[in-house]
Amino acid sequence: MSDFKDKLWHLTEEDIDALEIGSGILGTGGGGNPYIGKLRARQSLREGYRLSILPIEALDDEARVVPLGGIGAPLVSFERLKEGREGLRCLRALEDRLGFKADAVGCEEIGGQNSMEPLITAGYADLPVVDGDGMGRAFPEMQMTTYAIYGHRSTPSVMCDPHGNAVCFEHAISEKWHETMARACVISQGGASVLASAPMSGAFFKRHAIPHSYTQAIGLGRAVMTARAQHDDPIAAICEREGGRHIFSGKISDLKRHFARGFNVGIASIEGLDNCRGSLGEITIQNEFLIFRRDGEMQVCVPDLVVVLDLDTGLPLTTEVLRYGQRIAVLALPCHELLRSAQALEVVGPAAFGYPDLAYRPMTEAV
């Protein structure tokens, strides 16, 4: 890989603060709690490690990029702290198994704590993270990345847990089978681990990653921070920046949520407030917020983003911190075009989550 050090963006603690907010918004409730990730990233900076982002345009075609992220249920990662170097152990074990040295780390999903995990791992390894990811949001399953959708084979891969265990998945006959085997393994490891997938070329990453997602998340967080500091409306700032819509305001009136098959699953019922008074909202959850219905009619569904914010502060809420009586705002944000192709919708459309009768319509048409 050619010299790229003059192109790196070395993140500050203020950047990490902004990333916490932006990744929480893009995480659509999942990806792991970003506050926990922020604390870990901040500690890495204070220990002298550099968390660096490489512009996707500066990535060499021949570079070897290792995608990396957390796997498991967000609730577990919120309640059980990581040991801290699971990602580094994954990276080193994968390098040893395949006999190569990584040039950069790739982000599996920009949402939530999974935006921080690659940065922390790359900091320990003195590598950059490329400014892009495989989802532009968060999804609950590993085959739901643009990397996998457009042809990357993610095995051999390595999964590590906080106890020091490392498991290598030598070969999976499909990306769905990789997810199935990894999900069974992460349950046995306690419900939350880190996984590094087989390296991809820089050329592949530049063609098939969601570009500039770190820049997007940090910019989005800064917009919210600026709006709050100036006593402006952060919800309006988010919508204006992302081309989104504030589609519902309400109070959580019922919450059914449990841990099953390695996921947080459930339904949040919302009693309308303000101009939504008299209406009932409902959000379907599988690690992330998948579908929003108003009075029984679907308004937004995957792969577009259903975002839940605290109605009073405009800050994002993840699935594991939802509580009865919370006042929330529901936003709809458009997904990246790479997720709207027929090929992608087979993997990340509503049918892939068990809703074959629910047809995806872009949020600009559905809302």
Q: Which amino acid is at 172?
A: A
Helix then strand count (H, E) for the chain reads 12, 17
Model pLDDT, residue 293? 96
Cα–Cα separations (whole angstroms), residue 15 to 151, 221, 351, 354: 33, 9, 37, 38
pLDDT (mean) for 82-86: 86
Cα–Cα separations (whole angstroms), residue 209 to 163, 184, 237, 320: 32, 27, 26, 28
Domain 5-213 has CATH 3.30.70.1350: no
Model pLDDT, residue 32? 83
Nearest to 248 by CA among 199, 186, 291: 291
Predicted confidence (pLDDT) per residue in 10-58, tens digit: 999 999 999 999 999 999 998 888 999 999 999 999 999 999 999 999 9
Model pLDDT, residue 80? 73
Domain boundaries, the chain: 5-213, 233-366
CB within 8 A of 79, min separation 6: which ones?
none
Predicted confidence (pLDDT) per residue in 107-127, tens digit: 999 999 999 999 999 999 999
Domain 233-366 has CATH 2.40.390: yes
Model pLDDT, residue 78? 66
pTM of the predicted model as reported, rounded to 2 decimal places = 0.93
Asked if residue 224 has pLDDT above 80, the reply is yes
Asked if residue 1 has pLDDT above 60, the reply is no
The C-alpha atoms of residue 66 and residue 212 are separated, in whole angstroms, by 17
Q: Mean pLDDT across the chain, nearest whole number?
A: 93
The single-letter DSSP state of residue 316 is B
Instruction: Identify the residue with better confidence: 262 or 329.
Output: 329
Is-same-fold flag (5-213; 233-366)? no
Predicted confidence (pLDDT) per residue in 94-109, tens digit: 999 999 999 999 999 9
Predicted confidence (pLDDT) per residue in 164-186, tens digit: 999 999 999 999 999 999 999 99
